[in-house]
């Protein structure tokens, strides 16, 4: 009978080994998913660093349409763009500190949008606010560009 019990009831150590293997497999799946997500995020950031290829006229039309919708809803400002701090050469430090020349830290599409505002919108009374809008773990995170007309 003792031999039969040994085949029916595995050693507790065997179950711990199975558990460890299952946990290792799950950790590996999570690591792979995280690596894929990071690669996708980096690909998006790389794309955002490149020129958009959108003409000023098309951008202006888009912005005017968004402003008109906002005005219909009684708003005086709109967030026109949200972007990761990695699109700033200093990861948003100068913007956070409101340093003179902060606009020179912008790259890619945020820089294009700032330049468009400066060339086309500024003299027509539009204001542009660029600020860090979240602080994950106490560190600067995403930034937002907000256009206002008051």
> Does residue 60 sit in the same domain as residue 45?
no
> Does residue 31 sit in the same domain as residue 105?
no
pLDDT at 66: 93
pLDDT at 5: 75
49, two tokens: 């660093």
27, two tokens: 């950790």
60, two tokens: 């202006």
pLDDT at 53: 82
pLDDT at 2: 58
pLDDT at 34: 84
Query: What range defines the domain where residue 94 resides?
Result: 56-148
> Does residue 75 sit in the same domain as residue 114?
yes
> Does residue 40 sit in the same domain as residue 68?
no
> Does residue 36 sit in the same domain as residue 90?
no
Residue 40 main-chain phi, psi, to 5 deg: -65, -40
| Calpha distance 132→27 (Å, rounded) | 33
The count of structural domains within the chain is 2
pLDDT at 3: 64
> Does residue 75 sit in the same domain as residue 104?
yes
DSSP E strand stretches across the chain: 77-83, 127-132, 143-148
> Does residue 126 sit in the same domain as residue 87?
yes
> Does residue 42 sit in the same domain as residue 68?
no
| Calpha distance 42→45 (Å, rounded) | 5
Distances (CA, A) of 16 to 13, 22, 140: 5, 10, 42
Strands 77-83 and 127-132: unpaired
For the chain, give the number of residues: 150
Q: Residue 131's closest CA among 98, 108, 100, 87?
A: 98
> Does residue 23 sit in the same domain as residue 69?
no
> Does residue 112 sit in the same domain as residue 61?
yes
pLDDT tens track, the chain, 150 positions: 556 777 788 888 988 999 999 999 999 999 888 888 777 777 777 776 777 788 999 999 999 999 999 999 999 999 999 999 999 999 999 999 999 999 999 999 999 999 999 999 999 999 999 999 999 998 889 999 999 998
Distances (CA, A) of 10 to 2, 14, 51, 59: 13, 7, 63, 69
Q: Which of 16, 34, 49 corresponds to the end of one domain?
A: 49
> Does residue 119 sit in the same domain as residue 87?
yes
> Does residue 91 sit in the same domain as residue 71?
yes
């Amino acid at each position: 009978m003792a031999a039969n019990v040994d085949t029916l009831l595995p050693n507790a150590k065997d179950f711990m080994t199975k558990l460890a293997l299952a946990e290792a497999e799950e950790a590996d799946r999570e690591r792979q998913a995280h690596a894929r997500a990071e690669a996708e995020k980096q690909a998006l950031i790389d794309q955002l660093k490149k020129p958009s290829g959108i003409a000023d006229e098309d951008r202006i039309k888009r912005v005017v349409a968004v402003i008109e919708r906002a005005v219909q809803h009684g708003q005086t400002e709109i967030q026109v763009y949200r972007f990761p701090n990695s699109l700033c050469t200093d990861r948003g430090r100068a913007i956070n500190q409101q340093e003179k020349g902060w606009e020179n830290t912008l790259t890619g599409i945020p820089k294009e949008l700032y330049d468009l505002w400066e060339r086309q919108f500024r003299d027509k009374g539009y204001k542009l606010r660029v600020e860090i809008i979240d602080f994950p773990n106490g560190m600067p995170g995403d930034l937002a560009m907000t256009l206002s007309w008051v």
